A and B are shown apart, each in its own frame.
Chain A
Amino acid sequence: MYGKGRIIPALIIFLGLMTSPIWFKSGDASKMPKPEKPKDYTECVAPTAYMRTSHMVLLNQWRDDILRQDGARTGKTPNGTEYVRSLQNGCMKCHSDKKKFCDTCHNYTSVKPYCWDCHLQPKEAM
Protein backbone atom coordinates (compact mmCIF):
# COMPACT_ATOMS: atom_id res chain seq x y z
CA MET A 1 0.00 0.00 0.00
CA TYR A 2 1.31 3.42 -0.97
CA GLY A 3 1.89 5.76 1.96
CA LYS A 4 0.60 3.37 4.60
CA GLY A 5 2.97 4.89 7.16
CA ARG A 6 0.71 7.96 7.31
CA ILE A 7 -2.67 6.53 6.30
CA ILE A 8 -2.98 3.82 8.98
CA PRO A 9 -2.09 6.06 11.99
CA ALA A 10 -4.36 8.78 10.57
CA LEU A 11 -7.21 6.26 10.26
CA ILE A 12 -6.68 5.12 13.83
CA ILE A 13 -6.70 8.73 15.09
CA PHE A 14 -9.80 9.47 13.00
CA LEU A 15 -11.68 6.44 14.37
CA GLY A 16 -10.62 7.32 17.88
CA LEU A 17 -11.94 10.84 17.52
CA MET A 18 -15.20 9.72 15.95
CA THR A 19 -15.91 7.24 18.71
CA SER A 20 -14.60 9.46 21.51
CA PRO A 21 -18.09 10.30 22.88
CA ILE A 22 -18.65 6.57 23.40
CA TRP A 23 -15.35 6.14 25.27
CA PHE A 24 -15.84 9.34 27.18
CA LYS A 25 -19.25 8.35 28.52
CA SER A 26 -18.71 4.58 28.74
CA GLY A 27 -20.10 3.03 31.86
CA ASP A 28 -22.24 6.06 32.79
CA ALA A 29 -25.44 4.55 31.44
CA SER A 30 -25.29 1.66 33.85
CA LYS A 31 -25.08 4.05 36.82
CA MET A 32 -28.76 4.19 37.60
CA PRO A 33 -29.99 7.30 39.40
CA LYS A 34 -30.86 6.79 43.05
CA PRO A 35 -33.55 9.27 44.03
CA GLU A 36 -33.62 9.81 47.76
CA LYS A 37 -36.88 8.57 49.21
CA PRO A 38 -38.48 10.33 52.15
CA LYS A 39 -37.53 8.77 55.46
CA ASP A 40 -40.69 9.51 57.44
CA TYR A 41 -43.14 8.07 54.92
CA THR A 42 -43.27 4.53 53.59
CA GLU A 43 -46.09 4.56 51.06
CA CYS A 44 -46.88 6.76 48.10
CA VAL A 45 -50.25 7.62 46.54
CA ALA A 46 -49.86 4.82 43.97
CA PRO A 47 -47.58 1.76 43.57
CA THR A 48 -43.92 2.57 42.94
CA ALA A 49 -43.90 1.07 39.45
CA TYR A 50 -46.81 3.27 38.41
CA MET A 51 -45.31 6.36 40.02
CA ARG A 52 -41.99 5.70 38.29
CA THR A 53 -43.51 5.59 34.81
CA SER A 54 -46.64 7.72 35.06
CA HIS A 55 -46.33 10.35 37.82
CA MET A 56 -46.68 13.08 35.18
CA VAL A 57 -49.94 11.54 33.95
CA LEU A 58 -51.22 11.44 37.51
CA LEU A 59 -50.32 15.11 38.05
CA ASN A 60 -52.20 16.11 34.90
CA GLN A 61 -55.20 14.05 35.98
CA TRP A 62 -55.23 15.72 39.39
CA ARG A 63 -55.00 19.15 37.79
CA ASP A 64 -57.83 18.60 35.30
CA ASP A 65 -60.02 16.85 37.84
CA ILE A 66 -59.65 19.54 40.51
CA LEU A 67 -59.75 22.58 38.24
CA ARG A 68 -62.33 21.57 35.69
CA GLN A 69 -64.39 18.73 37.20
CA ASP A 70 -64.58 20.17 40.71
CA GLY A 71 -62.80 17.03 41.94
CA ALA A 72 -61.66 16.36 45.48
CA ARG A 73 -58.54 18.18 46.61
CA THR A 74 -57.49 15.37 48.91
CA GLY A 75 -57.17 11.64 48.45
CA LYS A 76 -56.42 8.57 50.55
CA THR A 77 -53.60 6.07 50.09
CA PRO A 78 -54.46 2.35 50.19
CA ASN A 79 -53.41 2.36 53.86
CA GLY A 80 -55.73 5.25 54.65
CA THR A 81 -53.29 8.14 54.93
CA GLU A 82 -54.84 11.36 53.65
CA TYR A 83 -52.85 13.41 51.17
CA VAL A 84 -53.33 16.63 49.22
CA ARG A 85 -53.68 16.09 45.48
CA SER A 86 -51.17 18.79 44.61
CA LEU A 87 -47.58 18.88 43.42
CA GLN A 88 -46.59 21.85 45.52
CA ASN A 89 -48.61 21.08 48.65
CA GLY A 90 -48.87 17.29 48.33
CA CYS A 91 -45.92 15.57 46.63
CA MET A 92 -43.37 18.00 47.98
CA LYS A 93 -44.59 17.48 51.54
CA CYS A 94 -42.91 14.06 51.60
CA HIS A 95 -40.47 14.43 48.72
CA SER A 96 -39.26 17.69 50.16
CA ASP A 97 -35.90 17.81 48.37
CA LYS A 98 -36.36 18.44 44.66
CA LYS A 99 -32.62 18.13 43.94
CA LYS A 100 -32.28 14.74 45.55
CA PHE A 101 -35.58 13.34 44.29
CA CYS A 102 -36.97 14.89 41.08
CA ASP A 103 -33.73 16.07 39.56
CA THR A 104 -31.76 12.81 39.84
CA CYS A 105 -33.92 10.95 37.31
CA HIS A 106 -34.84 13.98 35.23
CA ASN A 107 -31.18 14.80 34.73
CA TYR A 108 -30.35 11.16 33.94
CA THR A 109 -33.03 10.97 31.25
CA SER A 110 -32.42 14.57 30.14
CA VAL A 111 -36.03 15.52 30.79
CA LYS A 112 -36.72 19.16 31.51
CA PRO A 113 -40.25 19.51 32.91
CA TYR A 114 -41.49 23.09 33.36
CA CYS A 115 -43.17 22.43 36.72
CA TRP A 116 -40.86 24.74 38.63
CA ASP A 117 -41.34 27.72 36.32
CA CYS A 118 -44.51 28.33 38.32
CA HIS A 119 -44.72 25.91 41.22
CA LEU A 120 -42.56 26.70 44.20
CA GLN A 121 -40.26 24.06 45.61
CA PRO A 122 -39.89 23.77 49.37
CA LYS A 123 -37.75 26.58 50.71
CA GLU A 124 -35.19 24.57 52.66
CA ALA A 125 -34.14 22.67 49.54
CA MET A 126 -33.59 25.70 47.32
Chain B
Amino acid sequence: MDSKRRDFLKIAGLTAIAGIAAPSAFNSLLKGEAVASEHGEAAAAGAHGAAAPTGKRWGMVIDVKKFAENPGLAEKCVSTCHAIHNVPDFGNKKDEIKWIWVDSFKHVFPDDSSHYKQPEALDSLPILTLCNHCDNPPCVRACPTQATFKTKDGVIAMDYHRCIGCRFCMAACPYGARSFNWRDPRGKNANGQPFIKAENPKFPTRMRGVVEKCNFCVERLAIGQIPACVEVAAQTKALVFGDLNDPASEVSQVLKTTFTIQRKPSAGTHPSLFYII
Protein backbone atom coordinates (compact mmCIF):
# COMPACT_ATOMS: atom_id res chain seq x y z
CA MET B 1 0.00 0.00 0.00
CA ASP B 2 2.78 2.38 0.96
CA SER B 3 4.75 1.76 -2.21
CA LYS B 4 1.61 2.27 -4.28
CA ARG B 5 0.94 5.66 -2.68
CA ARG B 6 4.57 6.56 -3.35
CA ASP B 7 4.17 5.73 -7.04
CA PHE B 8 0.94 7.64 -7.22
CA LEU B 9 2.51 10.76 -5.75
CA LYS B 10 5.46 10.50 -8.17
CA ILE B 11 3.17 10.24 -11.18
CA ALA B 12 0.96 13.06 -9.92
CA GLY B 13 3.97 15.30 -9.48
CA LEU B 14 5.37 14.56 -12.92
CA THR B 15 1.98 15.16 -14.52
CA ALA B 16 1.67 18.52 -12.77
CA ILE B 17 5.13 19.60 -13.96
CA ALA B 18 4.41 18.44 -17.49
CA GLY B 19 1.05 20.25 -17.44
CA ILE B 20 2.65 23.54 -16.45
CA ALA B 21 5.74 23.25 -18.60
CA ALA B 22 4.24 21.96 -21.86
CA PRO B 23 2.14 25.05 -22.84
CA SER B 24 5.01 27.46 -22.16
CA ALA B 25 7.39 25.25 -24.12
CA PHE B 26 4.83 25.14 -26.96
CA ASN B 27 4.41 28.90 -26.85
CA SER B 28 8.11 29.58 -27.05
CA LEU B 29 8.30 27.24 -30.04
CA LEU B 30 5.43 29.11 -31.77
CA LYS B 31 7.10 32.46 -31.05
CA GLY B 32 10.29 31.20 -32.55
CA GLU B 33 8.37 30.27 -35.65
CA ALA B 34 6.68 33.71 -35.76
CA VAL B 35 10.03 35.44 -35.57
CA ALA B 36 11.34 33.27 -38.34
CA SER B 37 8.36 34.03 -40.62
CA GLU B 38 8.66 37.76 -39.91
CA HIS B 39 12.20 37.62 -41.14
CA GLY B 40 11.05 35.77 -44.22
CA GLU B 41 8.39 38.36 -45.04
CA ALA B 42 10.78 41.25 -44.59
CA ALA B 43 13.26 39.58 -46.88
CA ALA B 44 10.60 38.92 -49.50
CA ALA B 45 9.34 42.53 -49.37
CA GLY B 46 12.87 43.84 -49.72
CA ALA B 47 13.49 41.58 -52.66
CA HIS B 48 10.61 42.59 -54.95
CA GLY B 49 9.88 46.19 -53.98
CA ALA B 50 7.73 47.52 -56.81
CA ALA B 51 6.83 44.38 -58.72
CA ALA B 52 7.47 44.54 -62.43
CA PRO B 53 4.11 44.75 -64.23
CA THR B 54 3.15 41.74 -66.23
CA GLY B 55 0.33 41.28 -68.69
CA LYS B 56 -2.07 43.92 -69.93
CA ARG B 57 -3.50 46.76 -67.91
CA TRP B 58 -6.07 48.73 -69.84
CA GLY B 59 -6.03 52.44 -69.16
CA MET B 60 -7.26 55.70 -70.58
CA VAL B 61 -6.20 59.32 -70.88
CA ILE B 62 -9.02 61.87 -70.88
CA ASP B 63 -8.07 65.16 -72.53
CA VAL B 64 -10.46 67.65 -70.96
CA LYS B 65 -9.22 70.49 -73.21
CA LYS B 66 -10.41 68.61 -76.29
CA PHE B 67 -13.80 68.04 -74.72
CA ALA B 68 -14.02 71.79 -74.02
CA GLU B 69 -13.14 72.48 -77.67
CA ASN B 70 -15.83 70.08 -78.90
CA PRO B 71 -19.01 70.92 -77.02
CA GLY B 72 -21.44 68.02 -76.95
CA LEU B 73 -18.78 65.38 -77.47
CA ALA B 74 -18.77 64.31 -73.83
CA GLU B 75 -22.55 63.99 -73.83
CA LYS B 76 -22.34 61.93 -77.02
CA CYS B 77 -19.89 59.54 -75.34
CA VAL B 78 -22.32 59.16 -72.44
CA SER B 79 -25.37 58.57 -74.59
CA THR B 80 -23.57 56.04 -76.82
CA CYS B 81 -22.30 54.05 -73.85
CA HIS B 82 -25.66 54.07 -72.13
CA ALA B 83 -27.45 53.04 -75.32
CA ILE B 84 -25.29 50.01 -76.10
CA HIS B 85 -25.22 48.82 -72.49
CA ASN B 86 -28.96 49.14 -71.91
CA VAL B 87 -28.49 51.64 -69.09
CA PRO B 88 -31.92 52.80 -67.92
CA ASP B 89 -32.83 56.47 -67.53
CA PHE B 90 -35.14 56.79 -64.54
CA GLY B 91 -35.48 60.52 -65.05
CA ASN B 92 -34.44 61.57 -61.57
CA LYS B 93 -31.11 62.08 -59.82
CA LYS B 94 -31.94 59.88 -56.85
CA ASP B 95 -32.38 56.71 -58.90
CA GLU B 96 -29.87 57.66 -61.61
CA ILE B 97 -27.80 54.87 -63.18
CA LYS B 98 -24.56 56.03 -64.70
CA TRP B 99 -21.66 54.18 -66.26
CA ILE B 100 -20.01 57.32 -67.61
CA TRP B 101 -21.03 60.88 -66.89
CA VAL B 102 -20.07 64.56 -67.13
CA ASP B 103 -19.42 66.51 -63.96
CA SER B 104 -17.73 69.72 -62.82
CA PHE B 105 -14.06 69.99 -61.89
CA LYS B 106 -14.74 70.57 -58.21
CA HIS B 107 -16.85 67.42 -58.03
CA VAL B 108 -14.47 65.21 -59.97
CA PHE B 109 -11.34 66.49 -58.22
CA PRO B 110 -12.55 67.54 -54.78
CA ASP B 111 -9.12 67.24 -53.18
CA ASP B 112 -7.20 69.05 -55.93
CA SER B 113 -5.37 72.05 -54.45
CA SER B 114 -3.17 72.96 -57.40
CA HIS B 115 -5.77 75.11 -59.16
CA TYR B 116 -6.78 77.26 -56.22
CA LYS B 117 -6.55 80.57 -58.07
CA GLN B 118 -8.62 79.79 -61.16
CA PRO B 119 -11.77 77.98 -60.14
CA GLU B 120 -14.13 79.78 -62.58
CA ALA B 121 -12.24 78.69 -65.67
CA LEU B 122 -12.06 75.13 -64.41
CA ASP B 123 -15.66 74.89 -63.31
CA SER B 124 -16.96 75.42 -66.82
CA LEU B 125 -14.97 72.42 -68.14
CA PRO B 126 -17.04 69.37 -69.03
CA ILE B 127 -15.18 66.60 -67.21
CA LEU B 128 -16.04 63.16 -68.48
CA THR B 129 -15.64 60.54 -65.82
CA LEU B 130 -16.27 56.83 -65.42
CA CYS B 131 -15.04 53.88 -63.38
CA ASN B 132 -11.31 54.30 -62.75
CA HIS B 133 -10.62 50.57 -63.06
CA CYS B 134 -8.25 50.92 -60.12
CA ASP B 135 -5.18 48.77 -59.81
CA ASN B 136 -5.99 48.51 -56.10
CA PRO B 137 -9.78 48.44 -56.18
CA PRO B 138 -11.55 49.00 -52.84
CA CYS B 139 -14.89 47.83 -54.29
CA VAL B 140 -13.47 44.38 -55.02
CA ARG B 141 -12.26 44.03 -51.43
CA ALA B 142 -15.65 45.16 -50.11
CA CYS B 143 -17.74 42.75 -52.19
CA PRO B 144 -18.80 39.83 -49.99
CA THR B 145 -19.80 37.56 -52.90
CA GLN B 146 -16.97 38.25 -55.35
CA ALA B 147 -19.57 39.58 -57.74
CA THR B 148 -17.11 42.30 -58.66
CA PHE B 149 -13.54 41.38 -59.45
CA LYS B 150 -10.47 42.45 -61.36
CA THR B 151 -9.83 40.65 -64.62
CA LYS B 152 -6.29 39.81 -65.61
CA ASP B 153 -6.33 42.79 -68.00
CA GLY B 154 -6.99 45.15 -65.11
CA VAL B 155 -10.68 45.73 -65.82
CA ILE B 156 -12.97 45.87 -62.79
CA ALA B 157 -15.79 43.71 -64.02
CA MET B 158 -19.04 42.51 -62.49
CA ASP B 159 -20.97 39.28 -62.54
CA TYR B 160 -24.52 40.48 -62.00
CA HIS B 161 -25.67 36.94 -61.27
CA ARG B 162 -23.75 37.03 -58.02
CA CYS B 163 -24.61 40.55 -56.91
CA ILE B 164 -26.82 40.49 -53.82
CA GLY B 165 -27.35 44.25 -53.83
CA CYS B 166 -25.67 44.93 -50.49
CA ARG B 167 -24.06 48.10 -51.92
CA PHE B 168 -20.85 47.68 -49.92
CA CYS B 169 -18.99 48.35 -53.18
CA MET B 170 -20.81 51.67 -53.59
CA ALA B 171 -19.73 52.70 -50.12
CA ALA B 172 -16.18 51.55 -50.85
CA CYS B 173 -15.78 53.31 -54.21
CA PRO B 174 -14.27 56.79 -53.69
CA TYR B 175 -15.42 57.93 -57.14
CA GLY B 176 -19.16 57.29 -57.12
CA ALA B 177 -18.75 55.10 -60.18
CA ARG B 178 -21.35 52.56 -59.07
CA SER B 179 -25.12 52.82 -59.27
CA PHE B 180 -27.82 50.76 -57.66
CA ASN B 181 -30.99 49.68 -59.42
CA TRP B 182 -33.60 50.89 -56.99
CA ARG B 183 -36.24 50.32 -59.65
CA ASP B 184 -36.79 47.69 -62.32
CA PRO B 185 -34.76 48.82 -65.35
CA ARG B 186 -37.22 47.01 -67.63
CA GLY B 187 -40.11 49.02 -66.24
CA LYS B 188 -41.95 52.03 -67.61
CA ASN B 189 -42.36 55.55 -66.25
CA ALA B 190 -45.66 57.26 -65.45
CA ASN B 191 -46.12 58.18 -69.11
CA GLY B 192 -45.69 54.59 -70.24
CA GLN B 193 -42.21 55.24 -71.66
CA PRO B 194 -39.71 52.41 -70.99
CA PHE B 195 -36.69 53.39 -68.91
CA ILE B 196 -34.45 51.79 -71.52
CA LYS B 197 -35.44 53.68 -74.64
CA ALA B 198 -34.14 51.24 -77.22
CA GLU B 199 -32.85 47.90 -75.99
CA ASN B 200 -29.62 46.67 -77.52
CA PRO B 201 -30.44 43.00 -78.25
CA LYS B 202 -26.74 42.04 -78.06
CA PHE B 203 -26.33 43.08 -74.41
CA PRO B 204 -28.33 42.11 -71.34
CA THR B 205 -30.12 44.54 -69.08
CA ARG B 206 -29.87 44.38 -65.30
CA MET B 207 -32.57 43.56 -62.79
CA ARG B 208 -33.86 45.46 -59.80
CA GLY B 209 -31.63 45.18 -56.74
CA VAL B 210 -28.18 44.89 -58.34
CA VAL B 211 -25.34 47.38 -58.57
CA GLU B 212 -23.97 48.22 -62.00
CA LYS B 213 -21.02 50.09 -63.40
CA CYS B 214 -18.79 50.70 -66.42
CA ASN B 215 -17.15 47.49 -67.61
CA PHE B 216 -14.55 49.22 -69.84
CA CYS B 217 -16.45 47.52 -72.69
CA VAL B 218 -14.96 44.07 -71.98
CA GLU B 219 -17.46 42.62 -74.45
CA ARG B 220 -15.97 44.85 -77.17
CA LEU B 221 -12.33 44.42 -76.09
CA ALA B 222 -12.84 40.64 -76.33
CA ILE B 223 -13.59 40.94 -80.05
CA GLY B 224 -10.80 43.41 -80.74
CA GLN B 225 -12.81 46.64 -80.60
CA ILE B 226 -12.01 49.68 -78.48
CA PRO B 227 -14.46 50.94 -75.84
CA ALA B 228 -17.50 52.71 -77.25
CA CYS B 229 -16.69 56.09 -75.66
CA VAL B 230 -13.18 56.01 -77.12
CA GLU B 231 -14.61 55.16 -80.53
CA VAL B 232 -16.98 58.16 -80.35
CA ALA B 233 -14.10 60.47 -79.41
CA ALA B 234 -11.63 58.85 -81.80
CA GLN B 235 -11.54 61.69 -84.35
CA THR B 236 -10.64 64.33 -81.76
CA LYS B 237 -8.31 62.06 -79.77
CA ALA B 238 -10.00 63.36 -76.65
CA LEU B 239 -9.85 59.84 -75.23
CA VAL B 240 -6.73 57.72 -75.62
CA PHE B 241 -7.11 54.08 -74.69
CA GLY B 242 -4.52 51.35 -74.48
CA ASP B 243 -2.29 49.08 -72.47
CA LEU B 244 -0.53 50.97 -69.66
CA ASN B 245 1.99 48.14 -69.30
CA ASP B 246 3.09 48.36 -72.92
CA PRO B 247 5.69 51.15 -73.21
CA ALA B 248 5.02 51.45 -76.95
CA SER B 249 1.26 51.92 -76.69
CA GLU B 250 -0.28 55.28 -77.56
CA VAL B 251 -1.55 55.77 -74.03
CA SER B 252 1.94 55.18 -72.59
CA GLN B 253 3.41 57.69 -75.05
CA VAL B 254 0.85 60.32 -74.05
CA LEU B 255 1.52 59.70 -70.37
CA LYS B 256 5.28 60.00 -70.93
CA THR B 257 5.04 63.35 -72.69
CA THR B 258 2.12 65.03 -70.93
CA PHE B 259 1.38 66.13 -67.39
CA THR B 260 -1.72 64.30 -66.20
CA ILE B 261 -3.64 64.12 -62.95
CA GLN B 262 -5.72 61.38 -61.39
CA ARG B 263 -8.83 61.42 -59.24
CA LYS B 264 -8.08 61.26 -55.51
CA PRO B 265 -4.56 59.80 -55.77
CA SER B 266 -4.35 60.00 -51.97
CA ALA B 267 -6.93 57.21 -51.73
CA GLY B 268 -4.22 54.80 -52.87
CA THR B 269 -6.43 53.10 -55.42
CA HIS B 270 -4.03 53.61 -58.38
CA PRO B 271 -6.64 54.55 -61.00
CA SER B 272 -6.12 53.55 -64.63
CA LEU B 273 -7.68 56.83 -65.81
CA PHE B 274 -5.55 59.95 -66.30
CA TYR B 275 -6.72 63.49 -66.98
CA ILE B 276 -5.13 66.23 -69.06
CA ILE B 277 -6.64 69.46 -67.73
Interface of A toward B, CB cutoff 8 Å: 63-64, 66-68, 70, 73, 88-89, 114, 117-120, 122-123
Question: Is there contact, CB below 8 Å, between B207 and A120?
Answer: no
Question: Is there contact, CB below 8 Å, between B207 and A118?
Answer: yes
Question: Is there contact, CB below 8 Å, between B205 and A118?
Answer: yes
Show 26 residue pairs from A and B whose CB-CB distance is below 8 angstroms, ordered by the A residue. A63-B159, A63-B161, A66-B222, A67-B151, A67-B157, A68-B149, A68-B159, A70-B151, A70-B153, A73-B222, A88-B203, A88-B204, A89-B202, A114-B207, A117-B186, A117-B207, A118-B160, A118-B204, A118-B206, A118-B207, A120-B201, A120-B203, A120-B204, A120-B205, A122-B201, A123-B201
The number of chain B residues touching the other chain, given as a range, is 20 to 34
Cα–Cα, bound, A67→B158 (Å): 8
Q: Which chain B residue has the least Cβ–Cβ distance from A60?
A: B161
- Say if the beta carbon of B141 comes within 8 Å of chain A: no
Q: Which chain A residue has the least Cβ–Cβ distance from B184?
A: A117
Question: Is there contact, CB below 8 Å, between B205 and A67?
Answer: no
Cα–Cα, bound, A66→B161 (Å): 14
- Say if the beta carbon of B31 comes within 8 Å of chain A: no
Cα–Cα, bound, A84→B175 (Å): 35
Taking the closest CB of chain A, its distance from the CB of B93, in whole angstroms, is 24
For B201, what are the chain A residues with a Cβ–Cβ distance below 8 Å?
88, 120, 122-123
For B121, what are the chain A residues with a Cβ–Cβ distance below 8 Å?
none
Interface of B toward A, CB cutoff 8 Å: 86, 149, 151-153, 157, 159-161, 186, 199, 201-207, 222-223
Cα–Cα, bound, A88→B204 (Å): 8
Q: Which chain B residue has the least Cβ–Cβ distance from A68?
A: B149
Taking the closest CB of chain B, its distance from the CB of A109, in whole angstroms, is 21
Question: Would you call the interface of chain A mostly helix, strand, loop, or mixed?
Answer: helix
Known: A68-B151, A70-B153. A119 touches B159 (CB 8 A): no
Taking the closest CB of chain B, its distance from the CB of A123, in whole angstroms, is 6
Taking the closest CB of chain B, its distance from the CB of A104, in whole angstroms, is 23
Taking the closest CB of chain B, its distance from the CB of A58, in whole angstroms, is 15
Cα–Cα, bound, A63→B203 (Å): 14
For B86, what are the chain A residues with a Cβ–Cβ distance below 8 Å?
120
Question: Is there contact, CB below 8 Å, between A70 and B152?
Answer: yes
Taking the closest CB of chain A, its distance from the CB of B245, in whole angstroms, is 15
For A63, what are the chain B residues with a Cβ–Cβ distance below 8 Å?
159, 161
Question: Is there contact, CB below 8 Å, between B223 and A73?
Answer: yes
Q: A67-B157, A70-B152, A120-B205 are in contact. List 11 more A-B contacts (CB 8 A).
A: A66-B222, A68-B159, A73-B222, A88-B202, A88-B204, A89-B202, A118-B204, A120-B201, A120-B203, A120-B204, A122-B201
Taking the closest CB of chain A, its distance from the CB of B43, in whole angstroms, is 33
Cα–Cα, bound, A122→B202 (Å): 10
For B203, what are the chain A residues with a Cβ–Cβ distance below 8 Å?
88, 120
Q: Which chain B residue has the least Cβ–Cβ distance from A59?
A: B161
For A88, what are the chain B residues with a Cβ–Cβ distance below 8 Å?
201-204
For B202, what are the chain A residues with a Cβ–Cβ distance below 8 Å?
88-89
